[in-house]
Chain A
């Protein structure tokens, strides 16, 4: 089952995660997110199709944020599903990430 894929859109790498992101699937998500950032791309993580995310999935997002900050790259979450937002709120991370409704709402890449 594919849990993640990457598309390039408007200067961003968009990592779209799908389904249940847990200890089994989060390594793939992590690899894709960090891979985009290692290539120097501003990166968005689309969580609209995420029905479940656990601490390992959230850790992949935090790792991405840290790497983006270190590299001076834009990093944001888009279309965060209700299920994912509840977990981010529980982790008190909902205000730590830049969150947008979709790519149309994101700042243009300079």
Chain B
């Protein structure tokens, strides 16, 4: 990601009330990066879900800690890096559940996998990192 231009770096507390402002930033970012309104909504949903996961799970049972979201311009779209210093999860816990099961939870990971072109998670005591990529051709025949 070093060769990509960084468009945004924001640090926020892991609180649900921070999500609305983040989505405003993401909408502007995606529009500025040439995503159509439909693609933009999808990008906002996917990155919101990643942030919501951190807010819900990484700092569960303790004070809300810091979260950093960085966005990078790619030739083909956008890349994001989400960093937290809370409880990391095993990669197996990041699998979407089968949608045939009608139950309330677990849809966020499905949204992320459906929308994003790439998603890599690496837990570490120096910061758990979720890297995400989304290309502008999202929604055009996929």
Residue numbers of A with Cβ under 8 A of B are: 20, 22-24, 52, 54-56, 58-60, 62-63, 65-66, 83, 86-87, 90-92, 96
Contacts of B115 in A (CB 8 A): 90
Q: Are A54 and B108 in contact (CB under 8 A)?
A: yes
Q: Are B104 and A22 in contact (CB under 8 A)?
A: no
Contacts of B49 in A (CB 8 A): 54-55
- Interface 1/0 per residue, B82-126 and A, CB below 8 Å: 000000000000000001001111011011001100000000000
Q: Are A56 and B52 in contact (CB under 8 A)?
A: yes
Interface centre among A24, A58, A63, A92 (most CB of B within 10 A): A24
CA distance A22 to B115 in the complex (A): 18
* B63 in the interface (beta carbon within 8 A): no
Residue numbers of B with Cβ under 8 A of A are: 16-17, 19-20, 23, 38, 41, 44-45, 48-49, 52, 55-56, 99, 102-105, 107-108, 110-111, 114-115
Q: Are A63 and B114 in contact (CB under 8 A)?
A: no
CA distance A24 to B55 in the complex (A): 10
CA distance A60 to B105 in the complex (A): 9
Contact among A22, A58, A83, A92 for B48, CB-based, below 8 A: A22
Contacts of B23 in A (CB 8 A): 20, 22, 52
With contact pairs A54-B48, A55-B49, A86-B41 given, residues A24 and B19 touching in the complex (Cβ less than 8 Å): yes
Q: Are A24 and B107 in contact (CB under 8 A)?
A: no
Q: Are A90 and B111 in contact (CB under 8 A)?
A: yes
Q: Report the nearest B residue to A91, measured CB to CB.
A: B107
Q: Are A87 and B45 in contact (CB under 8 A)?
A: yes
With contact pairs A54-B52, A62-B104, A91-B99 given, residues A24 and B16 touching in the complex (Cβ less than 8 Å): yes
CA distance A63 to B103 in the complex (A): 7
Q: Report the nearest A residue to B52, measured CB to CB.
A: A23
CA distance A59 to B107 in the complex (A): 8
CA distance A87 to B41 in the complex (A): 10
Contacts of A91 in B (CB 8 A): 99, 107, 110-111
Contact among B45, B103, B108 for A62, CB-based, below 8 A: B103
Contacts of B105 in A (CB 8 A): 59
Contacts of B44 in A (CB 8 A): 52
Contacts of B19 in A (CB 8 A): 22-24
Contacts of B56 in A (CB 8 A): 23
Q: Are A22 and B45 in contact (CB under 8 A)?
A: no
Contacts of A86 in B (CB 8 A): 38, 41
